[in-house]
Amino acid sequence: MSNTSAKVINLADRRAKKEDEARNAPITGWITWLYCPKCKSLEYSELEMPNGRVHKKCGNMVEEVEVQIDVRAEYTISLRNSKRLDELFKETKIPAFLKPLAKKGIGMLENLHAAEVEYRKRLENIVNGPVNPYPDEWDEKSLKMKLKTLDPLGLIHTEARQPNLHFPEVDPS
């Protein structure tokens, strides 16, 4: 092998490594939780509004708490949640724990599924395009945060998706 081709390979290697690092780098973003003290409603937004905002429904100024996120981590976990939901849908033998409320159970799965799709759409809005998830071996426990597991389904919610952490005085129900 000549010196020149060795150099070329080296460059290609380095570029591949760089691309790989970029693919696996965290992407910082923010999710804002909005609480309307009048309607007692909680919702999240991916849009940053430095001058505050009013609740469309009632015109009241809402309280805001910004939560810093790693967009890629949120996206990866959401994809895994969807995968888990898909598996539950596919097991047409509805999981035993849902059987007594089979119909209600399916409706609940559909709502959860829609919530994941919506969340990922918001994350894509933050980066203005598609988000590459972390590789399969990435472990959400590396985030070192309070992850909430929605049992018995096994879905995982990061801190950004637990409004009660940000508005502890508000009853989310």
Residues lying near Zn ion in the complex (CB under 5 A) are found at 36, 38-39, 55, 57-58, 60
Tokens of 138: 């990435």
**60 or 125: CB nearest Zn ion:** 60
Tokens of 8: 């070329």
**29 or 163: CB nearest Zn ion:** 163
In the complex, the smallest distance separating the C-beta of residue 33 from Zn ion, rounded to whole angstroms, is 14
* Residues whose CB is less than 8 angstroms from the CB of residue 35 and which lie 6 or more positions away in sequence, other chains included: 41, 42, 62, 63, 64, 65, 163, 167, 170
Using a 10 angstrom Cβ sphere, with 0-12 exposed, 13-18 middle and 19 or more buried, the burial of residue 51 is: exposed
Quote the strand ranges of the chain, DSSP E: 28-36, 41-45, 63-70, 148-150, 155-157
**35 or 75: CB nearest Zn ion:** 35
In the complex, the smallest distance separating the C-beta of residue 49 from Zn ion, rounded to whole angstroms, is 16
In the complex, the smallest distance separating the C-beta of residue 60 from Zn ion, rounded to whole angstroms, is 5
**36 or 69: CB nearest Zn ion:** 36
Tokens of 172: 């989310």
**138 or 167: CB nearest Zn ion:** 167
**24 or 60: CB nearest Zn ion:** 60
In the complex, the smallest distance separating the C-beta of residue 118 from Zn ion, rounded to whole angstroms, is 20
In the complex, the smallest distance separating the C-beta of residue 65 from Zn ion, rounded to whole angstroms, is 16
In the complex, the smallest distance separating the C-beta of residue 169 from Zn ion, rounded to whole angstroms, is 17
Categorise residue 61: left if φ over 0, alpha if ψ from -120 to 50, beta otherwise. Answer: beta
CA–CA distance, 124 with 109 (Å, rounded to integer): 23
Which residue from 54, 105, 111, 112 is spatially nearest to 80, judged by alpha carbons?
112
